């Protein structure tokens, strides 16, 4: 086979790889939850979990807001955490649980949370604990399997 024609085999291989990557991307970006009206209830649970901690932090702090944002984004729009687009309606629902915070601040916090999660072990451990507690409550309510 000439060199020029071997490019056809390479092209076919590239297309197959792209197809597999697209399927995997779709799997990873599929949300666990889609009903944005659950966000206030999840925030209520988030606050309850924090208040039950041995040394409860202020649930209204910027750091706690960022932890909540990370969890909500992971549940409803995981691709946002990897630089994807925020689905319509989610920012408004998040704004509803933080009435004193402008939507622009929420958007700016969203840009931070993935980086903070990757860089700070304590932040990551807190999120994992809070997330697991929230998922357990979602399971008890029959909202996820």
Taking only the tens place, the pLDDT of each residue in 26-68 is 999 999 999 999 999 999 999 999 988 765 666 668 899 999 9
Give CA–CA dist 110/114, Å, rounded: 8
Q: Determine the pLDDT at residue 63.
A: 92
Which residue carries 């932890």 as its tokens?
Answer: 67
pLDDT at 4: 79
Q: Do residues 84 and 34 make contact, with C-beta atoms less than 8 angstroms apart?
A: no
pTM, two decimals, is 0.86
Are 82 and 12 members of one domain?
Answer: no
The DSSP code for 143 is S
- 69 shares a domain with 16: no
If asked whether residues 41 and 56 sit together in one domain, one would say yes
* Containing structural domain, residue 43: 31-141
68 plus 84 within the same structural domain:
yes
The answer on pLDDT for 1 being more than 70 is: no
pLDDT digits 0-9 by tens, 113-138: 999 999 999 999 999 999 999 999 99
């Amino acid at each position: 086979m000439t060199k020029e024609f071997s490019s056809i085999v390479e092209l076919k291989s590239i297309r197959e790889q792209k197809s597999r990557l697209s399927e995997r991307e779709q799997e990873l970006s599929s949300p666990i939850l889609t009903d944005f009206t659950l966000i206030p209830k999840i925030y209520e649970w988030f606050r309850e979990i924090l208040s039950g901690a041995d040394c409860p932090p202020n649930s209204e702090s910027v750091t706690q807001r960022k932890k909540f944002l990370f969890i909500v984004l992971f549940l409803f729009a995981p691709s946002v955490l990897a630089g994807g687009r925020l689905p319509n309606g989610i920012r408004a629902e998040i704004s509803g649980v933080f009435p004193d915070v402008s939507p622009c601040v929420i958007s700016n916090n969203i840009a931070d949370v993935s980086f903070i999660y990757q860089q700070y072990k304590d932040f990551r451990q807190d999120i994992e604990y809070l997330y697991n507690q929230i998922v357990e409550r979602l399971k008890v309510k029959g909202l996820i399997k």
